[in-house]
Amino acid sequence: MKPGETAVIDAIHELDAPTQRLMSLGLVEGAIVEMAGRAIGGDPLEFRLFGCGISLRREQAQKFLISPAARGG
Amino acid sequence: MAKASEVRIPASSIPLSRHFEASVAVVGTPNSGKSTLFNRLTGLRQRIGNYPGVTVERHVGVLSGVEERIELVDLPGTHGLSAHSIEERLAVDAVFGQIEGQRPPDGLLAILDASNLYQGLFLIQQLLELRLPTVVALTMNDAAEASGLKTDIDALSAALGDVPVLPVVATTGKGVHRLKEALAQLHEQPAVEPPGAWPELTEAVAPLAAASGVAGVLLGRALLDKDSAAGRRVAAELDEGALGELERLRRELIGDEPPLALEARRRYAWVREALSRVQQTGSPRHSVAARVSQFFNQPWPGTLGLFAVMLVVFQAVFAWATPFMDLIDGASGSLGALVHGWLGDGLLASLLADGVIAGVGSVVIFLPQILILFLFIIVLEDSGYLARAAYLMDRVMRSVGLSGQSIIPMISSFACAVPGIMATRVIPNRRDRIATILAAPFMTCSARLPVYALLIAAFVPRQQIGVLNLQGLVLFGLYLFGIVMGILTAFMIRKTALTGPRPAFALMLPEFRRPNLRTVGMQLLARAKVFLKRAGTVIFTVAVVVWALAYFPRADISQAELLERRALVSQAQGGETREETPAAIDNEIAALQLERSYLGRAGKFVEPVFAPLGWDWRVSAAVIAGFPAREVVVAILGTVYAVGDDADEATLAGRLKASTWPDGRPVFTLPMVVGLLIFYAMCLQCAATIAVIRRETNSWRWPVFAWTYMTALGYFGALLAFQLGS
């Protein structure tokens, strides 16, 4: 994903405790996320999730499988 | 230095609850504008206490402007009823009425941030299942509209099962009156039927709830989260058969999946559906502020911006505070002179001028710096910038085995390690948290500043190196030294005693918002109060005790004895004699007096320990007396040198420079001063920090380790500097 792009979460693999925490923050299947930016070195990443900002490290973000979504959806 | 935590009233001793018609818990997600609204609702009628056993602050207030006496309890922000940090756990326990000695809430004020309904609605549906009378305050609606979100308040209320939803603008007070009226009547309001976000859960536990008498919502939480407070209570209250039934229900409803993952899926599915009915997304208004924040969202401008912000903060702490500090310094000096003018040189005058005024004054002088530092930290926190700093620094911190979340406690520790260590509560991983706690006391806190400022002013030449000033550079170097040593310590701890997998990192990044002046002002006022109270009690006591130790016993030193002594000295120095003025003789008597005082004897007793560091008995005595609180060292030096033979010099710095060993060599040589600075940069001379480490880690192991380790670092660092330099 590039900054400004939007995607929908299709599936989540490995439901470990940190991932469950992210799920209770709203990163669940069907949620629409927009890539908002990244810090120096490309990590961590910043996403926007229905208007709120959330920052994840790359390795955690990789547990979420996404597919492109219509903009603004 | 503003030891925010230790002058606290245990919450259970606040005798408010008994006289209230109702107690309402204020619940919301972090950054939902909860505290600003709480301040609006209670005005100044609030008290800050502590929850039993932990340092989490408990804010309790009285609803102002209504006849009914309603108690409001501002709970820490939480994202849901399954807790992931200490603060969240307290919020959850309080909502369930599980905190010992606390009245369970009669109703809830749920704060819903209109710009973040997604996460807010997740929390609110959990809260509504408690079936307590609830009113929802919709905050940040103006910010939401600016970013193109239009909220239908009636539809929102309907989606939540007809719970009253009241929009408020906490910064201006709009809507607050209506909210107060609703809160005053809240406990008489009938409970509403919660929205059916996950009806299967409620239905599943209903028969068991009816049979056991334990509330269904508690059983539901216990089913999802065995280790929660609800889970423990249910485990304690149900008999074995009922627990078996609960286990059966868990398998039937959830199967092998992690229950919390399933809960998140179910509830957020409901939230998305509700959101589509309640909120319309339009195009955001592109304001200048939004564009600026977008610019600083880019990697490089963001990081450089962070450094610029930190630079401004430190510059401001030193530059802005100076005029106020000069003012306090002048006032305390002339007050002391005034007392000596009135009362002469007797016991009382000495106690007042040399003990109380010199001692307390030399600490109060740092109030302006502390307030400026806290002002910045409060503003940065309230504006949401500190979270962004954590995000930007995560990569760097990861390379030393920590996460970006450790940045906030470390930045706070520049003001004082106590609130800094308390701020580590946001770090969910225990190993990370302890490593950060051990690094925090290395950050140059405002109590180290007086010592640094004094020694630098006295011994570092005022020299320009290009555009930079040498004194400022040395100070900056000391800050850097603390940071490096702190991070190195965390790194080593993380690699040895606290090895473990890399923790998860999930950080909410709130939108930038303008901090509310009222909230900032109230927090600042609270800090000032704590600091002055401390100066008026602890430091006052230390100053008087040190003065007494330096003043007594009054030996009778005659001029004859002095002359005899001087003859011995002059013999040793090769027979040269000095012209003596009566004032000089007085001073020498005073010096001899000090040397024979209790403080002098104690200093001489420990002198051999510190002799390899180049310290004389006066410095040794001051350092020893400064172990409970390092800021008193300047006060002690002030007192010791005010009654000694160097008192002719106008300033303390001048007196330090003039101080000599009996054979005439100066005490404060460059290697000795460098060593002393290293000692202060490292040593954990702060009882409040030790106490807060004890409380936050819940063991003596870490504070004992931190103290021993830091003292050893300081001692051997100073030893190295002095021995290599001399």
Query: pLDDT tens across B15-32, in order?
Result: 444 577 889 999 999 888
pLDDT of residue B177: 92
Claim: this prediction has a pTM higher than 0.95:
no
Neighbours of A26 (CB within 10 A): 25
Q: Which of residues 512-571 of B touch A (CB under 8 A)?
A: none
β partners of residue B149: B281
The phi and psi torsions of B50 (rounded to 5 degrees) equal: -125, 145
The dihedral over CA atoms of B289, B292, B298, B303, expressed in degrees to the nearest 10, equals -100
Q: Are B427 and B405 in contact (CB under 8 A)?
A: yes
Residues across chain A: 73
Nearest-angstrom CA–CA distance, B324 and A16: 54
At B139, list the tokens.
């905050």
Q: Measured at the alpha carbon of residue B464, what is the angle toward residues B460 and B465, in degrees to the nearest 5?
A: 105
Q: Are A26 and A51 in contact (CB under 8 A)?
A: no
Q: Predicted ipTM?
A: 0.92
Q: Do B506 and A22 touch (CB under 8 A)?
A: yes
At B156, list the tokens.
């929102």
If DSSP codes are grouped into helix, strand and coil, which group holds residue B629? strand
Q: Do A53 and B511 touch (CB under 8 A)?
A: yes
- Find all residues with CB under 8 Å of B203, minimum gap 6, and list them: none
pLDDT of residue B691: 81
**DSSP character for B628?**
S
Q: Do A53 and B117 touch (CB under 8 A)?
A: no
Report how far apart the first and last C-alpha atoms of chain B are (Å, whole number): 34
Helix ranges restricted to H, B279-415? 288-295, 299-319, 321-343, 347-350, 358-364, 367-382, 385-399, 407-412
Q: Are B85 and B429 in contact (CB under 8 A)?
A: no
Q: Do B84 and A21 touch (CB under 8 A)?
A: yes
Pick among B509, B512, B513 to test the A interface (most A CBs inside 10 A): B509
Q: Which residue has the tokens 């001028």?
A: B353
Nearest-angstrom CA–CA distance, B197 and B274: 10
Alpha-carbon distances, residue B576 vs B167, B533, B569, B572, B661 (angstroms): 87, 52, 10, 9, 18
Q: For chain B, which ranges sit under pLDDT 70?
A: 1-18, 44-57, 284-287, 289-290, 314, 317-318, 362-363, 467, 501-504, 534-535, 539, 555-591, 639, 642-650
Q: Which residue has the tokens 């090769």?
A: B574
- Find all residues with CB under 8 Å of A13, minimum gap 6, and list them: A63, A65
Closest CA to B144 of B174, B112, B121: B112
Closest CA to A40 of B395, B573, B188, B373: B395
Nearest-angstrom CA–CA distance, B246 and B206: 11
Q: Are B68 and B187 in contact (CB under 8 A)?
A: no
Q: Do B268 and A30 touch (CB under 8 A)?
A: yes
**pLDDT tens digits along A27-68:** 999 999 988 888 887 788 989 888 788 998 888 888 899 888
Nearest-angstrom CA–CA distance, B105 and B93: 11
Pick among A8, A23, A43 to test the B interface (most B CBs inside 10 A): A23
β partners of residue B281: B149
E strands in B185-299: 279-281
Nearest-angstrom CA–CA distance, B688 and B704: 13
Burial classification of residue B469, based on how many CB atoms lie within 10 Å of its CB (0-12 exposed, 13-18 middle, 19 or more buried)? middle
Q: Which residue has the tokens 């809830």?
A: B108
Q: Are B432 and B403 in contact (CB under 8 A)?
A: yes
Which residues from chain A sit within 8 angstroms of residue B265, using beta carbons? 23, 28-29
β partners of residue B293: none
At B701, list the tokens.
């192991």
